[in-house]
Amino acid sequence: MTKNRQNDELFQVTFIGLGAMGWHMASHLPKVCKTVKVWNRNFEKAQQHAQRFGTIAVNLQAAVQADIIFSCLPTSTDVENLIASVNLKPGSIWVDCTSGVPSSAFQLAERLKKLNIDYLDAPVSGQTIGAENGTLTVMLAGHHDACLRAKPFIQAFADLIEYVGESGSGFAVKAVNNSLMAVNLWAVAEGLSILKAQQVDLTAALSCINHSSGRSGMSETIIAQRVLNGTFDRTFALNLLQKDMGIAIDLMRHSQLELQVLQATQACFDQIETTKAASLDFSAAIQRLEQDTGYQLRF
Ligand code: NDP
């Protein structure tokens, strides 16, 4: 997809939160906007970003004076606190790429509307590699006109931008998506545990599965790239996946549904305590399964 630079030289875009995802997402914005400002809590990272990608590192109050403000922080609470600490510019659009809580999106959208500011929930999927390549999927929600205005800028780091509905819908889709990812990862690992117990070669087994109906995104990527090779490289922290599953389970309860697989999977991933989970990749949850079964899943 061609990423066209917006011609209006006065138009300013800001990116807040240069973490594993935000660092890469912000790096694409100079393709579509002449002035791209960045802010990060650890400000050195913002300065490094500016040096590397031609963005401009500014303080937080200056950052929120842009026409479009992107944020990508760990949780909705982080975004709420940050928004509460600044004076925003009327007429701007806040595009929140955090994987957040639907009710928070709804409340922020209502609150900011009174200041003539649009708040959109726009969580992303595609892992750090998708952020680096500018090929993320964006689950965009909120006021439809504001979504249309923000879209050319979101396109800088996205291949698919899907409008999914009113405020909160984007966060809901993201929470369900990540819960499905967790279900798939755990299910593939359980299947491979059986095969290991049966002394089947896991490389051959995975090759068959990936050419058969049992395959999934997890069987095709993470299982080989992080579990079977034993690296468990950290790009998406396990505590963030635990948060996403918690959001999905809260939505399930709010919808008065009682769904067994999602709840059982959440219990599996929650076996690792949150503080420890913050230092681990989400794939490392499979190490608990390995301890329980006594079978290590390695090539
Ligand atoms: P990281 O932990 O790598 O980065 C978090 C960023 O938020 C850092 O820039 C950090 O600043 C900043 N931050 C943390 N707390 C605060 C705060 N209280 N106030 C201001 N800034 C803060 O997270 P990720 O980039 O991995 O994830 C960000 C969001 O994207 C999460 O919601 C996650 O669920 C989601 N996501 C992550 C994916 C992944 O593969 N990693 C994939 C898709 C979505 P500092 O540098 O100072 O610590």
* pLDDT digit string, tens, across residues 149-205: 999 999 999 999 999 999 999 999 999 999 999 999 999 999 999 999 999 999 999
71 lines ligand 1 (CB under 6 A): no
Mean pLDDT of 237-265: 98
CA dihedral 51, 56, 62, 63 (to 10 degrees): -90
- Mean predicted confidence (pLDDT) in 205-210: 98
Mean local confidence (pLDDT), 37-55:
98
* Cα 109 to middle of ligand 1, angstroms: 21
Average pLDDT, the chain: 96
* Residue 206 token pair: 């995975």
**Minimum CA distance residue for ligand 1 atom 35:** 99
Domains located in the chain, CATH noted: 3-167 (3.40.50.720), 172-293 (1.10.1040.10)
* Per-residue burial over 197-233, b = 16 or more CB atoms within 10 Å of its CB, e = otherwise: eeeeebeebbeebbeeeeebebbeebbbebbbeeebe
The pLDDT tens digits for 93-108 are 999 999 999 999 999 9
pLDDT of residue 3 exceeding 80, the answer is no
- pTM score of the predicted model: 0.97
Q: Residue 1: pLDDT above 80?
A: no
Average pLDDT over residues 14-26: 98
Distance (Å) from CA 201 to ligand 1 centroid: 38
Give the atom of ligand 1 at the shortest distance from the alpha carbon of 78.
Answer: 18
Give the Å distance between the CA of 97 and the centre of ligand 1. 10
128 lines ligand 1 (CB under 6 A): yes
Residue 170 near ligand 1, beta carbon < 6 Å: no
Atom of ligand 1 nearest to the CA of 100: 32
Query: How far does CA 120 lie from the centroid of its chain?
Result: 15
Q: What's the N-to-C CA distance of the chain in angstroms?
A: 37
CA of 145 to the centre of ligand 1 (A): 28
10: confidence class by pLDDT, cuts 50, 70, 90: confident
- The answer to whether the CB of 178 is under 6 A from ligand 1 is no
